[in-house]
Amino acid sequence: MKWLILLTILVLGSCEDDGDWVDPYLLPIGFDAHGFFAGYLDIDEGKSIYYVYTPSESNPSKDPLIVLLSMGPGCSILHGWLYSKGEFIFTRNTTSFRSNSHHWNRIANVLYLEGPAGVGFSTGAGVNISDDITQHEYFRALFRFYEKFPELKDQNMYLAGYGYAGVTVPKLALNIIEHNRNPDTSAWLKMNINGILLFNPCTRGEECSSTFEFNSYTIQALRNNFFITK
């Protein structure tokens, strides 16, 4: 049943005729829910990042965009969507859905990105995958997302995640900051990043088999951009 739901979303989100729009009426969840977008963001030849975008139920034209990244190498962010943060989530140890009154897109636009390429429904995994490659793929995916949804470009954007996102989120945030500060970057190519949200993150290299650490340099770099106030 769970795979049936995921495959249905995949098929519906791959239909270019509807602009990646998914009508929940076509999903066997058993109750009414709001529509959302799902599909692919082409980031390179043969590489595509799968995404799910759930518009805010409050004020989508003004509410912030929260970008949720995968919680670990090889782990799908759809787990976070379908088990804790989405409008409909699996009842644990069953194949049934239940309504989630605490879903994040009640008051925010929420974008789920499956990365790096090859994770979940994303396609085109390379032979060698690193933290730098992963954050670069997310970076490219965000550009493609804003091409699909240019109306969100000027709204506040926040990067978020847990687990291994303690590595990828700050690396991506610093990359976006550097990109925005580059004098050669046109105004319409800049991303309106306003902060990061990490919960139960991996912050030390030995914790997550990474050479990156959420160290004093990272904290100072983020503080200089008003991401950290204390």
The tally of domains found in the chain comes to 1
* 39-93 pLDDT per residue, tens: 999 998 889 999 999 999 999 999 999 999 988 777 888 888 988 888 988 888 8
Rounded-to-integer distance, Cα 51 and Cα 77, Å: 9
Which strand (E) or helix (H) includes residue 129?
none
Residue pointed to by tokens 């949804």: 149
Rounded-to-integer distance, Cα 122 and Cα 137, Å: 11
User: pLDDT value at position 90?
Assistant: 85
Sheet with 36-44, side-by-side order of all strands: 21-22, 36-44, 47-54, 109-114, 65-69, 157-163, 193-201
User: pLDDT value at position 74?
Assistant: 76
In a domain, 230, yes or no: no
In a domain, 144, yes or no: yes
**CATH number of domain containing 200:** 3.40.50.1820
Low-confidence residues of the chain: pLDDT under 50: 1, 11-17, 217, 228-230
Domain extent for 159: 2-224
Rounded-to-integer distance, Cα 172 and Cα 143, Å: 13
In a domain, 99, yes or no: yes
User: pLDDT value at position 222?
Assistant: 60
- Using a cut of 0.75, tell me whether the model's pTM lies above it: yes
In a domain, 73, yes or no: yes
In a domain, 47, yes or no: yes
User: pLDDT value at position 104?
Assistant: 93
User: pLDDT value at position 17?
Assistant: 42
In a domain, 44, yes or no: yes
In a domain, 150, yes or no: yes
